[in-house]
């Protein structure tokens, strides 16, 4: 049962897989710049490139044909090194439940806490969690104060490189690299986590709903 519950965290991955496979459920909206703002009738948020080398690469944006409140954006090299950002509408919260209660009910094997956005709770904002051997992610659950509608925010990273070393090692090396670069900006080292986490935090902190 524990693994079954944990598998719920893969829901966003299934959405992205359908998008990339070109299923009839999603319509391609075109390209968006590496950083910018998305505005819909229901919410708005800011986004940035999750990796420095993607600073000049555009995102591919998609809309859900069935649920107009869903947004999916993908950037990177499909099948090798891809980031996917999504906002998924989850319906209204049950009476008496707040964002934390909804998140814990939906994903009991993940740890959520209050975030930089008062409307949202999220997994650790500086440490992605493993979805499978090739994918990690950040997840947040946000509530519209007017409608009590719930929105799930995801920023996942799928990469073949994640198979080459444990996630804890990658996080430690990235943290050391970031510290070294703060001391000496000319330091050459690999930091895949800091810009990824910064991208998620920009997305999370800027997310707001319109009350519709």
Burial class (CB in 10 A: 0-12, 13-18, 19+), 130: middle
| Angle at CA of residue 9, ends 72 and 112, nearest 5° | 100
Six token digits for residue 181 = 């670069």
Residues forming a β-bridge with 139: 154
Q: What is the pLDDT of residue 2?
A: 41
Query: In 3D, which of 5, 14, 20, 3 has the Cα closest to residue 88?
Result: 14
Query: In 3D, which of 130, 117, 136 has the Cα closest to residue 201?
Result: 117
> Cα(128)–Cα(186) distance, rounded to whole angstroms?
27
Six token digits for residue 74 = 């993908």
Place of tokens 């800091």: 194
DSSP H helices, the chain, are 2-6, 11-20, 99-106, 167-183, 194-206
> pLDDT under 70 in the chain at which residues?
1-24, 79
| Angle at CA of residue 123, ends 10 and 119, nearest 5° | 110
> Cα(176)–Cα(181) distance, rounded to whole angstroms?
9
pTM score, two decimals? 0.88
Q: What is the pLDDT of residue 121?
A: 97
Q: List all residues 6 or more positions away from 179 whose beta carbon is below 8 Å from its beta carbon.
A: none
Quote the distance between the C-alpha of residue 201 and its chain's center: 9
Radius of gyration of the chain (CA): 17
Sheet holding 36-39, edge to edge: 36-39, 43-47, 208-209
Q: Please give the C-alpha separations between residue 189 and each of 25, 147, 176, 185, 196, in angstroms, as whole numbers.
A: 41, 46, 9, 11, 16
Q: What is the pLDDT of residue 135?
A: 86
């Amino acid at each position: 049962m524990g693994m079954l519950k944990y598998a719920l965290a893969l829901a966003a991955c299934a959405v992205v897989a359908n998008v990339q496979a070109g299923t009839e459920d999603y319509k391609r909206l075109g390209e968006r710049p590496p950083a910018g703002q998305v505005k819909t009738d229901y919410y708005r948020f800011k986004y940035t490139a999750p990796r420095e080398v993607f600073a000049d690469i555009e995102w591919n944006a998609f809309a859900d044909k069935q649920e107009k409140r869903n947004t999916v954006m993908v950037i990177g090299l499909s099948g090798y090194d891809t980031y996917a950002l999504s906002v998924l509408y989850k319906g209204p919260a049950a009476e008496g439940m707040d964002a934390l209660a909804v998140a814990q009910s939906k994903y009991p094997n993940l740890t959520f806490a209050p975030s930089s956005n008062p409307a949202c709770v999220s997994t650790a904002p500086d440490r992605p969690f493993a979805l499978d051997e090739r994918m990690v992610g950040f997840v947040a659950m946000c509530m519209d104060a007017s409608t009590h509608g719930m929105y799930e925010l995801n920023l996942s990273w799928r990469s073949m490189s994640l198979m080459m070393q444990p996630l804890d090692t990658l996080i430690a090396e990235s943290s050391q690299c970031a510290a070294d670069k703060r001391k000496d900006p000319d330091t050459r080292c690999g930091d895949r986590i800091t810009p990824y986490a910064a991208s998620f935090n920009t997305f999370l902190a800027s997310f707001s709903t319109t009350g519709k």
